[in-house]
Structure 1
Amino acid sequence: MKALHVITGLGVGGAEQQLRLLLRHLPVRCDVVTLTNPGAVAEGLRADGVRVRDLGMRSNRDLGAVPRLARLIRRGAYDLVHTHLYRACVYGRIAARLAGTTVVSTEHSLGRAEIEGRPLTRGTRELYLRTERLGAATVAVSDTVAGRLRDWGVPPARIHTVPNGIDAAAFRFDPVRRRATRASLGLPDAAFVVGGVGRMVPGKRFDLLIRAVASLPGARLLLAGDGPEAGSLRALAARLGVSGRVTFLGECGTMDAAPGIPAVLGAVDTFVSASREESFGLAVVEALAAGLPVVHAACPAIEDLPGGGRVPGATRIGRASGAADPTDELTAVLRHRMESGVRRLAPPPAVAHYDIRLSSRRLMDVYAQAVGTAPVPPTERAHP
């Protein structure tokens, strides 16, 4: 089988990094086309030996991208097109249909009221649903996202849950790496350090982490990521007088970048994901793989697990708290963690549930059904 993956952009982001990791484990020949922004992940894919092309799409209304992409699909003689992220799904499904090629799409970032961090409008939803019918299957990265797709009206038989995956070995705690990373960042060995990872947008609520750390004398905060809120978050840290205790690392790839997310997670003592809404919560799984105590708000990766989302080392906030201010609740949990002295735990069994090799096998089942080589039922009914 020969597959073409079409993605909106290849800057550093969760869906983009997940695609790169997945291609390392899919047992088929894969090429990649990015509609725009051939950034750091494109460079990483090329380093892995993957052919990457930039379609050069100029805007959301660049309709000429459809025939350009259709010609590329025909010339490549692909058995399957796999699209990722909203714009690529819309344009890629149409182009694949024009080229006469089977298309599968992955829904990476669908929330209740947002998609990829932007408000969901009626027009956005209608265009998504109209083009979804052109595909053979839609992959949801969590059962939560699968449920949202069903609520939209996507037929259940077309929805397959293939959870995001990680290479747990890459995040295994290494005390030598911890000391080296802390030294390079100027963090004292004994300091209590909180970590946060993600795109700096309002929904991630990194402001809660800054306010909570400001209320904990001696605590430090490492934030890995970039985005439109970076400037306002730096300003908030300055207003609260904690600029010296908050380190903004910028974009850090989960693979091959220095210090890199595995090194960052090794250097911190507690990980926080305060996102108001998530479609999966990959950073939480990575933190658990690093043996970190985790504090999280919305996180389908945990909440969708059997047993109601009870995972050793993970603490849910914002569900049934009496705290009027979510910052107060987060501060209280972090203070307890700080005073407990617990810095590392054994990775919980939940980490094995999200092994990238399992994700690869599940996706191959979807491919087989889509191209008609095997009568495989939807993978949402085939969780281990």
Structure 2
Amino acid sequence: MKVLHVITGLGVGGAELQLRSILQHTRHDADVVSLYNPGDVAGMITGDGVRVRDLGMTRNTQIGAVLRLREVIRDGGYDVVHTHLYRACVYGRLAARLAGTKVVVSTEHSIGETHLERRRMTLGVRALYLGTDLCSDATIAVSDTVAERLRNWGMPARKITVIPNGVDFGRVEFDGAARARVRLEHGIGDGAYVVGVLGRLDPNKRFNLVIDAMAPMLGQETKLLIVGDGPDRPRLEALAREHGVAEHVIFAGQRHDVAAMLSALDLFIASSEQETFGLSVLEAMANGIPVLYTTCPALEGIETDRARQVPGNAERMRAEIASEILAARPRADEPAIRRAYGIEAVTDRIDDLYTRLWQRRGNAVPAGRP
């Protein structure tokens, strides 16, 4: 089959990196259209040999973009259009149907309890999402939690398929040389215990909670490494200064060498207020690190002693972190994660969904790539 993936933007983020992993493992020919902001992930995907086009949108309400996207779809002769993230779903599903595409699929990565991709769920947001869903054949929910939220929102259960995000275990495996390099780069001693967080620096991630919890423990022997960038960085830096621990809270900025950054850590914390999946938790576990998390739908039903849910307040989180530092647990693999979330198996399920939708329409399935 010939598949076009339409995504809102290609800056560094969970959905964007997940799309890249899918493209690396799909059995179909695929291209990508970014509505705007063809950022660092666009370069990664292009480097993998996949064509990426920028639609060049400059504002949210740009109706002409639907017609431009329709022409891209028609000219490309795509069998399947697969949309990712809110704005791409709104524009992409409509454009695909106008172009006469046989199969239209969406993936819902980021629907929270009160927000959709940091967008408050107003009646207008909901109406646009559900209205354009009429142009879609199926929606992939990345967890049971997301599927339930979609049903509560008003999406028919028959259109929802749960396929989790996948982990490319080779991309995030432990690297001892990289651990030493990253620690040297940031002035961290070999014997220091390093706690880390990773993700976009925005209020939902609640990295301020981790700083509050860890402040009394930080010093030469215990460091906090914050990997990522975003609008919340100035507030977090100010908070570290207020606690008097600025030299021990290290802001690494946005990084592409995820395996190296994870390898530098001894404990990973995910402190989000709301989460639709929890890919960073799985990647940390794949690297062998013990994990503390406040919410992680991906671990529901997974029995493991490598990750533990903790309360979302500083005092109780501090006690859990102190317990992990005292235990100083070594790295270890978690086979349950590999069985449930390997990227190869996940991508196969997405490719199989395309095939089933084609067959449902009574069509012979187009050939995939060798």
Query: 1:374, CA displacement in angstroms?
Result: 9.0
Query: 1:373, CA displacement in angstroms?
Result: 6.5
Aligned partners of 2:234, 2:359: CA distance in 1, in Å? 50
2:20 equivalent in structure 1? 20
2:145 equivalent in structure 1? 144
The alignment partner of 1:24 has SS state of helix
Decide whether the 8 Å contact of 2:228 with 2:253 is kept in 1: yes
Aligned partners of 2:268, 2:72: CA distance in 1, in Å? 43
Aligned partners of 1:348, 1:28: CA distance in 2, in Å? 29
2:282 equivalent in structure 1? 285
Decide whether the 8 Å contact of 1:278 with 1:300 is kept in 2: yes
1:339 equivalent in structure 2? 326
Aligned partners of 1:374, 1:22: CA distance in 2, in Å? 25
Q: 1:351 to 1:296 in 2, by over 3 A?
A: farther
1:245 matches 2:248: yes
1:262 matches 2:263: no
Decide whether the 8 Å contact of 1:198 with 1:224 is kept in 2: yes
The alignment partner of 1:268 has SS state of coil
1:317 equivalent in structure 2? 310
The alignment partner of 1:372 has SS state of helix
Aligned partners of 1:352, 1:327: CA distance in 2, in Å? 34
The alignment partner of 2:132 has SS state of helix
Q: For 1:150-161, what aligned pairs fall within 5 Å after superposition?
A: 150-161=151-162
The alignment partner of 2:217 has SS state of coil
Percent identity between the two aligned chains? 48
2:235 equivalent in structure 1? 232
The runs of 5 or more residues in structure 1 that have no matched partner are 254-259, 319-324, 376-384
1:8 equivalent in structure 2? 8
User: Partner letter of residue 38 of structure 2?
Assistant: P
Aligned partners of 1:29, 1:207: CA distance in 2, in Å? 43
1:120 equivalent in structure 2? 121
Decide whether the 8 Å contact of 2:262 with 2:284 is kept in 1: yes
Query: 1:137, CA displacement in angstroms?
Result: 0.5
Decide whether the 8 Å contact of 2:85 with 2:107 is kept in 1: yes
Which aligned segments of 4 or more residues in structure 1 are displaced greater than 3 angstroms?
A: none
Q: For 1:1-384, what aligned pairs fall within 5 Å after superposition?
A: 1-101=1-101, 102-218=103-219, 219-253=222-256, 260-303=257-300, 305=301, 309-318=302-311, 326-372=313-359
Query: 1:310, CA displacement in angstroms?
Result: 3.4
User: Partner letter of residue 306 of structure 2?
Assistant: G
User: Partner letter of residue 168 of structure 2?
Assistant: D
Decide whether the 8 Å contact of 1:114 with 1:120 is kept in 2: yes
Q: 1:97 to 1:374 in 2, by over 3 A?
A: closer
User: Partner letter of residue 225 of structure 1?
Assistant: G
Aligned partners of 1:360, 1:199: CA distance in 2, in Å? 25
The runs of 5 or more residues in structure 2 that have no matched partner are 363-370
Computed over aligned residues only, the root mean square deviation of the Cα atoms, in angstroms, reads 1.4
User: Partner letter of residue 44 of structure 1?
Assistant: M
Aligned partners of 1:287, 1:129: CA distance in 2, in Å? 35
Decide whether the 8 Å contact of 1:36 with 1:55 is kept in 2: yes
Q: 1:374 to 1:185 in 2, by over 3 A?
A: farther
User: Partner letter of residue 61 of structure 2?
Assistant: R
The alignment partner of 1:349 has SS state of helix
What TM-score do the two structures reach when normalised by structure 2? 0.94
User: Partner letter of residue 250 of structure 2?
Assistant: T
Decide whether the 8 Å contact of 1:270 with 1:343 is kept in 2: no
Aligned partners of 1:311, 1:129: CA distance in 2, in Å? 37
Aligned partners of 1:231, 1:203: CA distance in 2, in Å? 15
Query: 1:249, CA displacement in angstroms?
Result: 1.3
Aligned partners of 1:217, 1:156: CA distance in 2, in Å? 48
User: Partner letter of residue 310 of structure 1?
Assistant: E
Aligned partners of 2:332, 2:318: CA distance in 1, in Å? 21
Decide whether the 8 Å contact of 1:368 with 1:374 is kept in 2: no
Query: 1:274, CA displacement in angstroms?
Result: 0.6
For residues 126-162 of structure 1, the C-alpha deviation after alignment (integer angstroms, 9 at most, x for no partner) is: 1111111110100111111011111112111111111
Aligned partners of 1:247, 1:347: CA distance in 2, in Å? 28
Decide whether the 8 Å contact of 2:218 with 2:224 is kept in 1: no
Aligned partners of 1:215, 1:352: CA distance in 2, in Å? 39
User: Partner letter of residue 266 of structure 2?
Assistant: D
Aligned partners of 1:359, 1:175: CA distance in 2, in Å? 28
Query: 1:317, CA displacement in angstroms?
Result: 1.2
Decide whether the 8 Å contact of 1:289 with 1:348 is kept in 2: no
For residues 227-280 of structure 1, the C-alpha deviation after alignment (integer angstroms, 9 at most, x for no partner) is: 110111111111111111111111122xxxxxx111111111000001011110
Using the TM superposition, name which of 94-103 and 215-224 deviates more: 215-224
Decide whether the 8 Å contact of 1:117 with 1:201 is kept in 2: no
Aligned partners of 1:356, 1:216: CA distance in 2, in Å? 37
Query: 1:348, CA displacement in angstroms?
Result: 4.1
